[in-house]
Structure 1
Amino acid sequence: MELLQDYGLFLAKTVTLLAALGFALAMMANAGRSRSRSREQLEVEPLNRRYRDMARRIDQGLAPRRGRLKGLRERRRERREGRRGEARLPRLFVLDFEGDLRASATEALREEVSAVLATARSDDEVLLRLESPGGTVPGYGLAASQLARLRKRGIRLTVSVDRVAASGGYLMACVADRIVAAPFAVIGSIGVVGQVPNFRGLLKRYDVDFELHTAGAHKRTLTLFGENTDEGRAKFRESLQAVHDLFKTHIARHRPKLDLERVATGEHWLGEQALELGLVDDLGTSDDILLERRERMDLVALRYRRPQPFSRRLALTLESLAARLGLGGGHLEE
């Protein structure tokens, strides 16, 4: 009895300690989330000032000392006078989207789009600097829907592709009123891929059985460890084709003049080829657009910052790497 009492006391202390530790960890996690939320913010940067400062630095560097002092006095007078009485110039809101497998930048994009819609006038525009090789269907579908919100409100949208907008990236880009691509940017890849590694042969070699039970004829088509059937493969391909058809319908809605039979083959093209095919409207870089608009528009860069824990960033990196190596877990990618 004494032994049982000692054991019960020890067990009670252990449970209490574990409960206290769990409570402490939960409190720390909540505090971390609260700090993260408190650091969430929308950053606003006026870009016209950056270009004016660049030009002035060059002028100052080349001007003689007397000229530099004169220029400094003139700039001080300009700042004092400001732009009193001048009408508000149309604004060009500049957004950035750097895509990964899950289109995780959509979280920031939706906040930035909401901020634009809350303040934009009918003569304002949006420039999205887009870079993405594509990824999951739901992720990029939602990102494209965020851009469609701008179109529905009549806000003109230009997408600039300096390096790559392929697959899910092009799903987003085609929503724009105008697509501008650098001559060697990668464009297109209008296709869908699904990949599932199968380890059944390895399990059989070591006499390991695997059972999979489902309710519903097509709850699982292809599996990681079970035996894949011809019927399952056919259903999987049917699902791929359905997503591809929806992808093509989406593009046809926004770019009706495209020859989809020619471009929706999963191939990608460089910028100059994409222009000939009608996938983009002009050749150039995002820098060209900003320099061209800086005299007649206020350039405003918006960045919604939401810190992510290291574990999430690491998971996204490893997931993207696995997908590119063909080790994905059965998701569909555009």
Structure 2
Amino acid sequence: MKEWLAEYGMFLAQVVTLALIVAVLIALIGKARGREDHSRLRIEELNKRLRGRQRRLRLSGMDRKHRKMALKRFKKEDKNEVRTSPDSEDEHQKQTVWVLDFKGDIKASATPQFSEEISALLGVVSESDEVVLRLESPGGLVHAYGLAAAQLDRLREANVTTTVCVDKVAASGGYLMACCADRIRAAPFAVLGSIGVVAQLPNIHRLLKKNDIDVELLTAGRYKRTLTVLGENTEEGREKFLDDLENTHELFKHYVGERRPQLDIEAVATGEIWYGSEAVKNGLIDEVGTSEAYLLERMTQARVMTVALEKKRGLAERMGLAASMGVEHGLQRVYEALEAGGWQRR
């Protein structure tokens, strides 16, 4: 019995040792991979995707004999295209339309990825090319959307022709981004504008005072803190807070006015929103139409390529991200509901 226990103990020690070695190796490999770039650039030519779908639809209505003939014809067309494309392209066929997507939340969280996508394009885009941004955002934090808009300004400074397509909403910070483009196209009922600044915060000072709870707020600098959630707010603090909002609003108006000089900025910078069919009349956008229709039109003249940088995440990161996104999604819905409250007209 003692010999069996000794052998079992030795076996158990070997298993534990082996498990520890494997765990250390996995940790080292994971750490090494953590230093690598786990992003992947996904590129797709929409012309080919559309042609493939249209071919499938045609084939679906044919009998076996005609389907076989059509497949041969399609293969011949593809071979001729490959054979002739390098040397016989005209100026229109050489042009490329690069398509990016930006779906904004309160913090404009997609900005880092968007910035990298633009950096990649700036190294390959030619003078005849165009960059189309499919934009959707109800706005959010001023500094976050200021940075996102600055990414589009990089294309502007490089003299790259840019078009922003808005199918649903580009309001407030979303419009701050949209106005950086050479041309803005929006669907008939897309929401645009909301050129204004808003801030709100609760104050529970009276509740705390009622329960004999004191809050000490110590600052160095007269306006280090203007309004607070816990402390007693002063009239001076409120006036300073409003001055800051007005200053931000003036910067917002100046930014839009520089990029769309045809706008009567004082008339549209009231915080109001307009739908696409209305926005074209006051100059907020240039034309009414959907992004799908625009890209379909461009496919007759150029290659249309979607570009997206996809980030690969580890299991732990995915689990943590899922939890945080659940909370953030809830907050986002509350924010959007509040914002949308101003869009419902009677």
The answer to whether the superposition gives a TM-score over 0.5 is yes
- Where structure 1 has 5 or more consecutive residues not aligned to the other structure, the ranges are 1-23, 327-334
Correspondence for 1:261: 266
What do residues 79-125 of structure 1 show as CA deviations (whole Å, max 9, x unaligned)?
Answer: 33443333362111111100000000111110111111011111110
**Two-structure CA RMSD over aligned residues (Å):** 2.3
Q: 1:316 aligns with which of 314, 324, 328?
A: 328
- Equivalent positions of 1:294-305 (< 5 A) are 294-305=299-310
What do residues 247-272 of structure 1 show as CA deviations (whole Å, max 9, x unaligned)?
Answer: 00001101001111211000001111
Count of aligned pairs between the two proteins:
301
Correspondence for 1:72: 71
Q: Confirm or deny: 8 A CA contact 1:101 1:319 kept in the other structure.
A: no
- Equivalent positions of 1:91-240 (< 5 A) are 91-240=96-245
- Where structure 2 has 5 or more consecutive residues not aligned to the other structure, the ranges are 1-22, 339-346
Tell me the distance in 2 between the aligned counterparts of 1:210 and 1:30.
Answer: 50
Tell me the distance in 2 between the aligned counterparts of 1:318 and 1:172.
Answer: 25
Tell me the distance in 2 between the aligned counterparts of 1:149 and 1:206.
Answer: 54
Tell me the distance in 1 between the aligned counterparts of 2:41 and 2:217.
Answer: 47
Q: 1:298 to 1:179 in 2, by over 3 A?
A: same
Q: Alpha-carbon deviation of 1:70? A: 1.1
Does residue 86 in structure 1 map to residue 88 in structure 2?
yes
- Amino-acid identity (%): 46
Correspondence for 2:248: 243
What do residues 26-53 of structure 1 show as CA deviations (whole Å, max 9, x unaligned)?
Answer: x969948945954311111111111101
Q: Alpha-carbon deviation of 1:323? A: 4.4
Matched AA of 1:288:
A
Q: 1:29 to 1:177 in 2, by over 3 A?
A: farther
- Equivalent positions of 1:265-304 (< 5 A) are 265-304=270-309
Q: Confirm or deny: 8 A CA contact 1:42 1:304 kept in the other structure.
A: yes
Give the match's secondary structure for 1:48.
Answer: helix
Q: Confirm or deny: 8 A CA contact 2:138 2:336 kept in the other structure.
A: no
Give the match's secondary structure for 1:129.
Answer: strand
Most deviating of 204-213 and 85-94: 85-94
Give the match's secondary structure for 1:83.
Answer: helix
Q: 1:141 to 1:29 in 2, by over 3 A?
A: farther
Matched AA of 2:328:
L
Q: TM (normalized to structure 2)?
A: 0.81
Matched AA of 1:250:
Y
Matched AA of 2:43:
V
Q: Confirm or deny: 8 A CA contact 1:159 1:176 kept in the other structure.
A: yes
Q: Alpha-carbon deviation of 1:321? A: 4.5
Q: Alpha-carbon deviation of 1:195? A: 1.4
Higher relative contact order (CA 8 A, sep 6+): 1
Tell me the distance in 2 between the aligned counterparts of 1:211 and 1:229.
Answer: 15
Tell me the distance in 2 between the aligned counterparts of 1:112 and 1:257.
Answer: 30
Matched AA of 1:56:
R
Tell me the distance in 2 between the aligned counterparts of 1:225 and 1:36.
Answer: 43
Correspondence for 2:55: 56
